[in-house]
Amino acid sequence: MGFIRGFAQFWYDFIIGDDWKIAAAVLTVLVVGGACVLAGVTGLWLAPVLAVGIALAFVAALLIDVRS
């Protein structure tokens, strides 16, 4: 049982890390991108739009942390 708990703790620390807001924002952008692909909305513009979305989410999380 200790191995399973340690394994889960490692992945939690690796993915979530210090800031859960960034992890949630990245997950949200990836879900939106996956929904676009499943809906058939593809093209050369999708990857750059998702990259900008992740960058904006990071900036928003950073501004929230700096402000408070």
**pLDDT tens for each residue of 5-40:** 999 999 888 888 878 888 888 889 889 999 999 998
The pLDDT score that the predictor gives to residue 14 is: 86
Contact predicate 9/52, CB 8 Å: no
Q: Is the pLDDT of residue 68 over 70?
A: no
Looking at residue 24, what is its pLDDT? 87
Taking residues 50-59, report their average pLDDT. Answer: 90
45 φ, ψ (degrees, to nearest 5): -85, -15
Query: Hunting for tokens 């979305």 — which residue is that?
Result: 53
Distance CA 58, CA 68 (A): 16
Q: What is the pLDDT of residue 35?
A: 93
The maximal CA–CA distance of the chain, rounded, in angstroms, is: 46
